[in-house]
Structure 1
Amino acid sequence: MHQSKVVDHAALLAEVGQWARELGFSQIGVAGVDLASAEAGLLAWLAEGFHGSMAYMEAHGLKRARPAELVPGTVSVITARMDYLPRGTPPGWQAVEFDRLRRPEAATVSLYARGRDYHKVMRQRLQKLADRMAERLGPFGHRVFTDSAPVLEAELASRSGQGWRGKHTLVLHREAGSMFFLGEIYLDLALPPSAPESAHCGSCSACLQACPTGAIVAPHRLDARRCISYLTIEHAGPIPPELRPLMGNRIYGCDDCQLACPWNKYAQRASLPDFDARAPLTDPPLLTLWAWSEADFLRYTEGSPIRRIGHERWRRNLAVAMGNALRAGPQPAMEQALREALAAASPLLAEHIEWALRQGGPDAGSRNP
């Protein structure tokens, strides 16, 4: 454990906060490693099967709540948040997003995924922050994480003053809403924990009411198996047919619970250009994205978090959205494009295309592959 010299913790954390802002972070905090009080909730969530097919959640079990088991020697955790709303986000952006959700022929990609993959941005900058600390203190044991290991990120963030857990389970900050990423540095340096922030949701239930699939089954309880973010990103197989009509035109992730949250009127724009929206993902028609070959998909999603789901899952999601558009009204070009793709489609994709065609009317999906 690194305690070779006396460290003025207050001065060090003031410096680390300054370095963090220079690197594009909005805030840092410090959490202890005793998360025992979170273990019962984690086990109950797993027991309910709310993690769906994310088997790694169960495989890691309580290691998520035990930082010193994940990285031996860890005695404190620096948490960092980074705002991600694209720099050019207009005032009233929630209304813009809700408007797109009402346009069946448009495609909706979650705001966080329209720019560069945050895993890369956050990890590189957290490592730079740790390097700056090592220059100041000498070598110390550490490891950086951002959504990349069995880490209870929201728990650590809320314990370290980054905000409180909203009823949608995301962390909320009074001056930044919830539109930010979280990252951590596990370290063998004992630092005093930051003061946690009290909760400010009150009797508001906007997020529960806004969820298209009812995935927020109770305040602070999310059934991932019903969550559109999980279904479009984490889930590899067929999307349950009963949930498909509820997905609308959401093809990668879902922001509805955040769009409805009153605290997001305070959401901050990113300080980094990395999260600027890429042109093909700002307001694309479903048909334009459906026309992408696999090579197009790989080219347009290079450096993007979207690339990890692969072309087949991308088209599976698009097929569901196109089916929902066909239900909303005649879309001859869309129907033709779906039919033309059927012969070459994998079994997974073909099943979703056939479902989509059936949404257009009693005869729309009658042609067998």
Structure 2
Amino acid sequence: MISSEQSRLLLSQIRQWAAELGFQQLAVSDIDLAAYRPHLESWLARNFHGEMDYMERHKDLRLAPDQLHPNTIRVLSVRMDYSFDKEQTLTPMRDGRMAYISRYARGRDYHKLLRKRLQQLAEKISGEVGEFGYRAFVDSAPVLERALAEKGGLGWIGKNTMLLNRQAGSFFFLGELFTDLPLPIDEPVSAHCGSCTACLDLCPTRAFVGPYQLDARRCISYLTIELKGAIPEELRPLMGNRVFGCDDCQIVCPWNKFSRLSEESDFRPRHGLDSSELSELFRWTEAEFLERTTGSAIRRTGYEGWLRNLAVGLGNAPTSQKIIDALQSRAQHPSALVREHVEWALRQHGVTA
């Protein structure tokens, strides 16, 4: 058992190692998440999770870190900046010819990079204190990561349900190291959304039913990534050119004027995913899709989902022969899901498949 003074010194050393490993911040929380139970249960009861059945299935584990990993008494939450965009502007969403892909997904998948760095952090701790109990998580298990990060003081959960940080906005990834080390606990920070409702007012699909209340079934990130079937027709025109995720509620958040550019080359956009035309991406073959999304979060949607999303974007694009030709090239696609979305898109341009 280490003393309180040893714990304090160890935590100082851990923060230094975390910074050396590329994390912008590290915070420590306890594991008492009782205060978050009512919100989670209400959200699930209203079916705001849609087809994400795992949210309901593992609800209790999310609220009990020591059940997810026995003997856990502390959670080290870390954050890492990921954006390479200097400007906080909605201009890219207003050019209907171009595909908008969420900033976090333009480079390599963050899961492996953060998990590797967390493992390296654990090894450094082990080298100092000897064998100890731990487990690293990066969006890979039933973890209430924003709640834990908020408890540790990495920021506060804003009205758009994102974790907001006064010095860094919200364009950062989170990861956790569950541990049995009795480290000092960091204090939460106060919330600073105030009377601002920019995120709630701007959401293209009106996914926010109120402050801190997101109906995922209307969220573009859910529709383009989590939803496996047809996108509801009434929501398609509202999606614009957003084909994988959505950043609107982050871009308009005043705190993101303080967001920092990433220092990780792995997060740099690849294959022109920050500046490609919808019609260009729509023409990718499945082999091209698989090759160009190797090690990318975009793989989650699959090739069929990729074409579905792009068809919606093309349906919302300004009418041109180039757009129509691209859509007609997939009008006989073997996937009924793709064909249906292509037919819808063509109708938006006054063309029958």
Instruction: Name the TM-score class by shorter chain.
Output: over 0.9
- 2:88 counterpart residue number: 94
Paired letter, 1:74? T
**Counterpart position of 2:323:** 334
Amino acid at match of 2:74: S
Written as runs of structure 1 = structure 2, the 5 A alignment for 1:216-295 is 216-295=208-287
| Runs of 4+ that moved beyond 4 A | 4-7
- Please list the CA deviations of residues 302-360 of structure 1 after superposition, one character each: whole Å capped at 9, or x if unmatched: 111111211100000000000011xxx32112212211212133011111011101101
Paired position in structure 2 for 1:12: 10
User: Please, what is the CA RMSD of the aligned residues?
Assistant: 1.2
Q: Post-superposition shift, 1:7?
A: 6.3
Which string of whole-angstrom CA distances, capped at 9 and with x for unpartnered residues, describes residues 227-271 of structure 1? Answer: 000110111110011100000000000000001000000001112
Q: Assess if the C-alpha contact under 8 Å between 2:83 and 2:260 holds in 1.
A: yes
**Which amino acid in 1 is paired with 2:59?**
G
Equivalent residue letter for 2:346: L
Q: Where in structure 2 are there 5+ consecutive unaligned residues?
A: none
Query: Percent identity, aligned pairs only?
Result: 52
Letter of the aligned partner of 1:133 in structure 2?
I
Aligned equivalent of 2:70? 72
Instruction: Tell me the equivalent position of 1:179.
Output: 171
Note the residue ranges of structure 1 that are not aligned, 5 or more in a row.
Answer: none
Partner of 1:33: 31
Of the three residues 316, 319, 338, the one matched with 1:324 is: 316
TM-score (norm 2): 0.98
1:155 corresponds to 2:144: no
Among 111, 123, 128, the alignment partner of 2:115 is 123
> In 2 relative to 1, CA 6–259 (structure 1 residues): closer, same or farther, beyond 3 Å?
closer
Amino acid at match of 2:305: R
Aligned equivalents of 1:129, 1:115: Cα separation in 2: 23
Give the distance between the partners of 1:202 and 1:6, measured in 2 at CA.
37
Instruction: Specify which of 95, 110, 114 is matched with residue 106 of structure 2.
Output: 114
| Contact 2:11/2:184 (8 A) holds in 1 | no
What SS does the corresponding residue of 2:329 show, helix, strand or coil?
A: helix
TM-score scaled to structure 1, two decimals?
A: 0.93
| Offset of residue 280 of structure 1 | 2.1
Number of equivalences: 353
Q: Provide Cα deviations, 1:282-320, integer angstroms capped at 9, x if missing partner.
A: 210001101100110011111111112111000000000
Superposed displacement of residue 202, structure 1: 0.5
Post-superposition shift, 1:5?
7.2
Is 1:305 the counterpart of 2:297? The answer is yes
Q: Measure, in 2, the Cα distance between the counterparts of 1:164 and 1:6.
A: 27
> 2: distance between equivalents of 1:337 and 1:271?
37
Q: Is the 8 A contact 2:134 2:179 kept in 1?
A: yes
| Alignment partner, residue 56 of structure 1 | 54
